[in-house]
């Protein structure tokens, strides 16, 4: 079996958002780094994916300098760094063709945000026929305001709102949605300790 680790949006853009102070896993870079080291040691492929929103002036605008891997995460030569403008790492990046060319049959997914780009990537990978391992504790997310909430509220207001979905609930929902249908849920320790 040929495997690849897909690192989704583990980038500095998120650090520039107030909501990152309430992140489920502020040390996500350490967890991702452990998976990267393990994958490299096994000879698995590592693919880096960064989210971009060119021309927006926001934190994902490459012109502002935050669309780069988090500190401690350094792509090596030969490890592709793909850029996307949609949620799925497969959307417009050529990732599927790349993985097919390598003969990859299983992907491990990690990065930011758990329920958004990571989950979307896992679902897309499953639909494309890959075996998927979703390394849940090597992902991170932020609280989600209730639908219809006023945009731009300070973080303290979002956190105080009883309708806000907290990070534990977000992660649990993702695990329930993916497990057994789109992916096998695993932890960093389980992945690193397997081989």
Catalytic residues: 117
Q: What letter does residue 54 receive in the DSSP assignment?
A: T
| DSSP alpha helix (H) spans, 44-166 | 95-102, 119-127, 155-160
The dihedral over CA atoms of 90, 18, 68, 59, expressed in degrees to the nearest 10, equals: 80
| DSSP alpha helix (H) spans, 91-153 | 95-102, 119-127
Percent of residues in the chain assigned helix, strand, coil, to nearest 5? 40, 20, 40
Half-sphere exposure of 174 (CA within 13 A, CB side): 31
As a whole number of angstroms, the distance between CA 142 and CA 8 comes to 15
């Amino acid at each position: 079996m040929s495997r690849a680790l897909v690192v989704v949006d583990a980038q500095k853009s998120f650090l520039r958002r107030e909501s990152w102070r309430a992140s489920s896993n502020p040390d996500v870079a350490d967890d991702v780094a452990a998976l990267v080291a393990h994958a490299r040691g096994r000879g698995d492929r590592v693919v880096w994916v960064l989210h971009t929103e060119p021309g927006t002036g926001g934190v994902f605008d490459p012109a502002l300098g935050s669309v780069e891997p988090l500190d401690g995460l350094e792509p090596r030569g030969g490890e592709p760094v793909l850029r996307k403008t949609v949620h799925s790492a497969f959307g417009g990046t050529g990732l599927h063709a790349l993985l097919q060319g390598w003969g990859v049959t299983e992907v491990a997914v990690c990065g930011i945000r758990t329920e958004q780009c990571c989950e979307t990537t896992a679902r897309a990978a499953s639909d494309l026929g890959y075996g998927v391992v979703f390394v849940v504790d090597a992902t991170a997310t932020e609280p989600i305001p209730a639908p219809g909430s006023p945009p731009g509220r300070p973080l303290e207001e979002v956190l105080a709102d009883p309708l806000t979905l907290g990070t534990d609930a977000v992660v649990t929902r993702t695990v329930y949605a993916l497990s057994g249908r789109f992916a096998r849920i695993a932890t960093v320790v389980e992945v690193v300790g397997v081989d």
